[in-house]
Amino acid sequence: MGFWADVERHLVRYSGAGRFTPEIIEKAEGSYLITESGRRILDFTSGQMSAILGHSHPDIVATLQRQAATLDHLFSGMLSRPVVDLARRLAESLPDPLEKVLLLTTGAEANEAAIRMAKLVTGKHEIVSFARSWHGMTQAAANATYSSGRKGYGPAVPGNFAIPVPFALRPDILDADGELDWQRQLDLGFDLVDAQSVGALAACIVEPILSSGGVIDLPEGYLAALQAKCRERGMLLILDEAQTGLCRTGTWYAFQRDGVVPDILTVSKTLGAGLPLAAVITSAEIEETAHERGYLFFTTHVSDPLVAAVGNTVLDVLERDKLDLRAAESGAFLKDGLRELASRHETITDIRGRGLLVGLELTSDAVGAAVTQKSLELGLHLNVVQLPGMGGVFRIAPPLTATRAELAEGLDILDRALATES
């Protein structure tokens, strides 16, 4: 049977839309995917928003070859130098008191571990997150996810609450100037949480920039105000930097802009640069309390040396090539190019984001779908947010290593795709 017949017969369709990109990908290199027919597709999603060093980066390839030939996997109670080195280096990249590290595989797993730790340390069970949140598909992570996937699976775990997203483009609570009054919105959100809580608020988990929620950047000052709400209630603040961590936004971590230090930080996608690696990072005090109370979260691939070695190489490249500065500069170049497109295409309604995580909003879901399809035909892969009413929002996240020429090529293809919908 043929490839697509095998797809139809044997693959579980794991996204709601149930559609796969109609291309057979043979290999990938740098910022490009290469199909079986030899067609080159510019990758403006960094794989699954993860391959921040591009595909098949030579340093990553060399590390994989060396590490796979020496030490790949261990019993969960055994340690290796790559694991301890990566833990130390992650701690060194972060402000005090974040210094204790648990190395896992995926963002969902890291968020699961973080929420489990918060519940144990606080002795409480209630979790607050944004109404457009995405934190993963495992139990606690899925129960803190509101952007999609909640219907049809039976009751959610009691004690999960959503608060409104401070989205300046579509403000729901206005100040005297007609702008979003995010402080009043936050106050009201927690008034409703308090009314529903049984007095067991454990943690709040949020992304500094909601990616699946539509690339919505939190207003400056919001994270500090949110942390104050948590402190008032004895809650821990968990920041999920799966997509924003490690230079993507032009700083090493997105929360650095706000001068806020979370109680627990999770990083994942960008840490492995496309390989399954994630981390939970917290303070010695929180880790000590969790340990005293018997914290249990070991998995088959906890502290695996193979991916830990890759994580160390990712940090090497980020530091050596100053990719935080490059992401800021490339992001400014990309946004300038998108603004120029907006001046000529009325279908563009908003441009937002930080660094090389940019949201481009179009007039409708239908236009977003059509531009996505046309861009792919022309050689550019883009991702649209799949929320109802948000299908016209592109999450543009090229590799941090993308050249100006590649960014310009992507802008040119997008220009041509938009022209077909004008």
- How many Å separate Cα 99 from the centre of its chain? 22
DSSP conformation letters of 149-206? --TTS-PPPTTEEEE----TTS-SSB-TTSSB-HHHHHHHHHHHHHHH--S-EEEEEE
Rounded to whole angstroms, how far apart are CA atoms 40 and 284? 48
Amino acid at 266: T
> Which is the catalytic residue, given 134, 182, 248, 263?
134
Q: Which helix (H) or strand (E) holds 28?
A: strand 25-29
Check: CB of residue 41 under 8 Å from CB of residue 23. yes
Amino acid at 19: R
CA distances from 109 to 54, 145, 235, 371 (A): 24, 14, 21, 34
Check: CB of residue 131 under 8 Å from CB of residue 146. yes
> Which is the catalytic residue, given 233, 269, 326, 352?
269
**Gyration radius of the chain's alpha carbons:** 21
> Which is the catalytic residue, given 109, 126, 181, 207?
207
Amino acid at 165: V
H-assigned helices in 280-381: 284-292, 305-320, 323-342, 365-378
> Which is the catalytic residue, given 43, 112, 181, 240?
240
> Which is the catalytic residue, given 185, 241, 395, 406?
395
182 is catalytic: no
139 is catalytic: no
217 is catalytic: no
Check: CB of residue 8 under 8 Å from CB of residue 22. no
Decide: helix, strand or coil at residue 361: strand
- Tokens 């230079």 -> residue: 247
| Count of C-beta atoms within a 10 Å radius of residue 91 | 15
377 is catalytic: no
Residues 6+ apart with CB under 8 A from 289: 120, 121
240 is catalytic: yes
> Which is the catalytic residue, given 233, 243, 304, 406?
243
207 is catalytic: yes
Q: Which residues are catalytic?
A: 134, 207, 240, 243, 269, 395
